[in-house]
Each structure stands twice: as structure tokens, then as C-alpha cells.
Amino acid sequence: MSTLAYSNQALFNPDKNPLLRWFLKQTFYAQFCAGENAAEVRRTVDGLKGIGYTGVILGYAKEVVLTDEQTRNLSACDEGPIAEECIRNEITPWAVGTMETLKLAGPDDFVALKFSGAGRQALYALKNRLPPPQHLKKALDEICDLAAKRDVPLLFDAEQTAIQAGIDDWTLQYQRKYNTKPGHAIIYGTYQAYLKGTPALLGSHLAAASKENFTLGIKLVRGAYLGTDPRHVIHDTKEETDAAYDSIASSLIRRQWGPTLQQNVAFPQISILLGSHNLASVRKAREIRAGPECAGTELAIAQLQGMADEIRKKV
């Protein structure tokens, strides 16, 4: 798959080889992706809801994964012809694609937003923990305004650690602005349980929400960048990651500080989305959620399409 993704040879390029494109569309693509246009997406969504899902997460699938050299050599790209190129070829298509995705979402659906898809200006600002550049900020404001108007929550995705601190900054900025309804978030941040620093980070965000009186939207996942994140920032074993995930999820659902999440403030209003393919974790979360003391917490449980879609039927 890596060869097909980066090959310069026409034979191995799905955009140049129609037979290869057809094969991938009918196999790998159909397994994991909702569709290339609105009609295909709607058919996929209808199929998923037909087997029992109450909502779906839609995402405009554009992402940049940087090598170490690319990370070091990022530039601002905010002046002259190169800035115009970034806006025309990177920010604008990403914004349009995300807005169109939002328009496809319905009640109980979510839309995932990946900042790296906006291109070089976004990556430079995130790496250096700068505010969103002017044209990107305008696009982000329009996207968030539409999400709020349609009441479709936006999931700000986690990405590589090289830019994650910047993503966390932007996430809190937009949560403060849009998450004003108690117990119902429009903007969610993503927290990866495989990172050793996640409990402290999430705890600080929960404390900010408590002190500033906004609802914190939390998408909790195990982690997605094992191949690119520095190994020392990740838990040493899968068992440690599992324990961190389950402990964090338990505290969130109960809205109580625990052995993993600890702060000296009142627990804030939150909305939770648990992303997991781990049946044990899903069952634990549902058992906790069934308790009467947890009835007021907004909670959804989700998984990636094509990766054990039937897990919902088992719980």
C-alpha cells in the first residue's frame, strides 16, 4: 500500500492505471471509506445505520504525514506568490471539502477535521504554536459557524507529536468560543491514551473548562501514530495503554477525578466520544454508563469503518 501511495510509475499509480484504480475501489477503498461523492457517502451511511448505528463520523480524507526532514524545513509560506499558491491549492480545497462534508452530516452525526490537510501554512503555524494564519482562520471560523448552526459536532483530530501542541492550543481556543451550552460540545479535542503525557494534558484542559465555565468535548482513542511519534513518549507496553485508556474513560463517564486523571477543581461539564475497537473497553464503558449517577453525561462510542463493524452487536 505504501508503494501504491507514493509510486511515480504509472503502472502502480491508481490515478493513472484504471484497472488498478477499479481493483482498489472495490476492495480496500470499499472496506474503509465512505465514498468519493455525496451519493456514495449517503449509500454507505444508510447501510451503517441499517445495521444499528445511530450516527456516523464523516471526515474529508486529506492528511499530511511529515518526515523528520520535512518537519525541520517547514516555512511560513505566508507572503508573495507561494502564499497565494498555498491558499489556492491547499487551504481553499480543504475548507470546501470540509464544508461539503458538514452538509452531508445529519442528526447524531459527527465530522472529523484534520488540520494538516490545510497544507503548509497550517503545519508551520502548528509546529511553532502560532495562531491560525489569516486565511486559514477565516476558513476555520466559517467551518465552525456552520457546524454550530447545524448542531454537528466537530472532532479536531490528533496528529503527530511535532504539531500536536499547536493543535491542542487551537482546540481550546475554539472550545472556549463554541462550547457554551452546558453538557453539549460542538468542538471536541482528541486525546491519545498511548501517550504518557495524556493524563496531565487532559487534566489541564478539564481544569480550564471548569475554571472558565465551558463544556470540554473529549474524543478518547488509544493512538494512531505509533510509526511516527517518538517511542519514548508512548507507553512501554500495550497493557499500560489499555489501563490508561480504561481509567481515563471511567473518570470521564463518572465525571469524577480518579487515579489517572487528577486536578484540584470541580469536574467540568463534558461531552465524550470513545473511539475503540477493544471489546473489553467498550463493555466496561457501557457498564459504567448504565449506572444512575452517569445518566447526565453526553456519551458516544465509535469505531473506524471496516474494522469489526459488528462489535456494536456484541455489546
Any domain includes 10: no
In sequence order, the 6+-apart residues with CB closer than 8 A to the CB of 124 are 74, 75, 76, 77, 78, 130
What is residue 66's predicted lDDT score, i.e. its pLDDT? 61
Any domain includes 206: yes
Any domain includes 49: no
Task: Give me the mean pLDDT over the 44-73 stretch.
Answer: 78
Residue 180, helix vs strand vs coil: coil
User: CA separation (Å) from 261 to 189, 198, 256, 258?
Assistant: 16, 9, 9, 5
Any domain includes 268: yes
Any domain includes 17: no
* DSSP 8-state symbol, 77: -
Average pLDDT over all residues of the chain: 89
Q: Is residue 67 pLDDT above 70, yes or no?
A: no
Which H/E stretch holds residue 219? strand 216-221
Task: Give me the mean pLDDT over the 191-202 stretch.
Answer: 97
Domain that holds residue 275: 54-314
What is residue 315's predicted lDDT score, i.e. its pLDDT? 41
pTM over 0.85: yes
Any domain includes 162: yes
User: CA-CA distance, 214 to 173, in Å (whole number)?
Assistant: 11
Q: Which residue has the cell 525541520?
A: 72
Task: Give me the mean pLDDT over the 290-296 stretch.
Answer: 82
Q: Is residue 313 pLDDT above 60, yes or no?
A: no
Any domain includes 37: no
Q: How large is the C-alpha radius of gyration of the chain?
A: 20
φ, ψ at 220 (rounded to 5°) = -105, 125
What is residue 64's predicted lDDT score, i.e. its pLDDT? 65
What is residue 253's predicted lDDT score, i.e. its pLDDT? 96
Any domain includes 13: no
The residues pairing with 59 across neighbouring beta strands, listed in sequence order, are: 112
Q: What is the CATH number of the domain that holds 257?
A: 3.20.20.220
Identify whether the C-beta of residue 258 lies closer than 8 Å to the C-beta of residue 173: no
Give the count of domains, the chain.
1
Task: Give me the mean pLDDT over the 256-266 stretch.
Answer: 95
Q: Is residue 151 pLDDT above 90, yes or no?
A: yes
